[in-house]
Chain A
Amino acid sequence: AQSVTQPDIHITVSEGASLELRCNYSYGATPYLFWYVQSPGQGLQLLLKYFSGDTLVQGIKGFEAEFKRSQSSFNLRKPSVHWSDAAEYFCAVGASYSGGGADGLTFGKGTHLIIQP
Chain B
Amino acid sequence: EADIYQTPRYLVIGTGKKITLECSQTMGHDKMYWYQQDPGMELHLIHYSYGVNSTEKGDLSSESTVSRIRTEHFPLTLESARPSHTSQYLCASRRDSNYGYTFGSGTRLTVV
Contacts and interface: CB of A to CB of B under 8 A. Distances in A.
- Indicate the size class of the contact surface on chain A: 20 to 34
B108 interface: yes
A70 interface: no
A103 B104 CA distance: 18
B42 A90 contact: yes
Interface string B1-39: 000001000000000000000000000000101010000
Interface of B: 6, 31, 33, 35, 40-45, 48, 56, 58-59, 90, 92, 96-98, 100-106, 108
Given A46-B101, A105-B33, 10 more contacts: A34-B101, A41-B108, A43-B103, A43-B106, A94-B97, A104-B45, A104-B48, A107-B44, A108-B42, A110-B41
Contacts of A104: 33, 35, 45, 48, 58-59
